[in-house]
Amino acid sequence: MTLGTVGPMRPVPGHIVRPDYVASGRIGTSTEPQVLVGAALDRMRHACAVAAEVLRRSGELVAVGVTTDLLDAAAHDTYLELGAYPSTLGYRGYPKSLCTSVNGVVCHGIPDDRPLRGGDIVNIDVTAFVEGMHGDTSATFVVGSVDEPTAALVATTREATLRGIAAIEPGMPLQRIAAAIEPFAHSRGFDVIREYGGHGIGETFHAAPHVYHHLVTTDRFVVEPGMTFTVEPMLTSGTADFTRAPDGWTEHTDDDLPSAQFEHTVVVTDVGAEILTVTADGRSVAGTLDELDLSRP
Ligand code: MF3
Ligand code: CO
Ligand code: CO
């Protein structure tokens, strides 16, 4: 595991509204489950659409030779253009507007000066704060062409995320999301990270519930209509054990084999779940439920 050089924090103009933690260092909003209806849900839809748009435009820039800092710079400008604050910038001291997690990095990779190489995979994780709400979404992109096992890891992680979302019904135990993800990942020969999960999100970036992606049968949380949370499994080709780098953020697999992640923010409806992190045309580079074929094992 080697780290590059991280540049200075990018400035944000004064008219962009910041989350409370940026100035105070403390999270003042509720960390209870976020339940959104009416105008609050409309504001959440907007924040999520902005996040999806930043992710789409960032992903288009992924290419051999591009640094993750360039992805951060471009994304930073897009957030500002769309009137949003990059939620990660100054969150618990995190210094950048995106997370970029390359190859064996599980999550929270910090954009730096290292160019992407052909055969790499990179997860870009975008969180936008606008109209008082956070929208959170990520996708894993391939750089040039990747080997077949790595391509399978990425495809399986994408499908696992969508399967987890498709399993959601109002009134159900939250653990059914994990039940849709973990056995599926194992059946394809991949493991699931256990120490990080999805999270409630809305006015608060990270709220209850903790959304496990591996089965925890003691989890008693029940899903209710209007709840907004993320589903964001990280799958690994080898070990699911990982270690934090000396930068205090970058989590990397202990065997350095690749890890992939996809993430959506969803709202629970009266019949299932709706993906909120879609662009104005209803699409997402992280995938949508219409690509899912549950008739296949
Ligand atoms: N976006 C990440 C998530 O999915 C959180 C990143 S927090 C940071 O929850 F500080 F690492 F950026
Ligand atoms: Co998240
Ligand atoms: Co995220």
Helix (H) or strand (E) holding 275: strand 273-275
- Angle formed at CA 285 by CA 141 and CA 48, multiple of 5 degrees: 120
pLDDT score of 1: 81
Tokens in use for 223?
């899903």
Strand spans (E) along 116-190:
121-130, 133-142
Burial 219-237 (b: 16+ CB within 10 A, else e): bebebeebbbbbbbbbbbb
Closest ligand 1 atom to residue 263 Cα is 4
CB 72 less than 6 A from any atom of ligand 1: no
Residue 2 has pLDDT above 90, yes or no: no
What band does 262 get if pLDDT is binned at 50, 70 and 90? very high
- Identify which ligand lies nearest to the alpha carbon of 72: 1
- For ligand 1, the distance from its centroid to the CA atom of residue 94, given in whole angstroms, is 9
- 31-291 under CATH 3.30.390.50, yes or no: no
pLDDT score of 296: 82
CB 263 less than 6 A from any atom of ligand 1: yes
- Distance between CA atoms of residues 180 and 232, nearest Å: 13
Contact 123, 97 (CB under 8 A): no
Closest ligand 1 atom to residue 201 Cα is 9
The mean predicted confidence, pLDDT, of the chain is 98
Residue 294 has pLDDT above 90, yes or no: no
Q: What's the pLDDT tens digit per position in 128-158?
A: 999 999 999 999 999 999 999 999 999 999 9
Q: What's the pLDDT tens digit per position in 20-70?
A: 999 999 999 999 999 999 999 999 999 999 999 999 999 999 999 999 999
Q: Which residue, by CA, sits nearest to atom 12 of ligand 1?
A: 88
Q: Which of 22, 54, 85, 94, when mutated, tests ligand 1's pocket best, judged by the most ligand atoms within 8 Å of its CB?
A: 94
- For ligand 1, the distance from its centroid to the CA atom of residue 167, given in whole angstroms, is 24
- Distance between CA atoms of residues 143 and 198, nearest Å: 26
What band does 285 get if pLDDT is binned at 50, 70 and 90? very high
CB 242 less than 6 A from any atom of ligand 1: no
pLDDT mean over 76-88: 98
pLDDT score of 222: 98
Q: Which of 136, 213, 231, 251, when mutated, tests ligand 1's pocket best, judged by the most ligand atoms within 8 Å of its CB?
A: 136
What are the structural domain ranges in the chain? 31-291
- Distance between CA atoms of residues 28 and 170, nearest Å: 28
Q: What's the pLDDT tens digit per position in 164-205?
A: 999 999 999 999 999 999 999 999 999 999 999 999 999 999
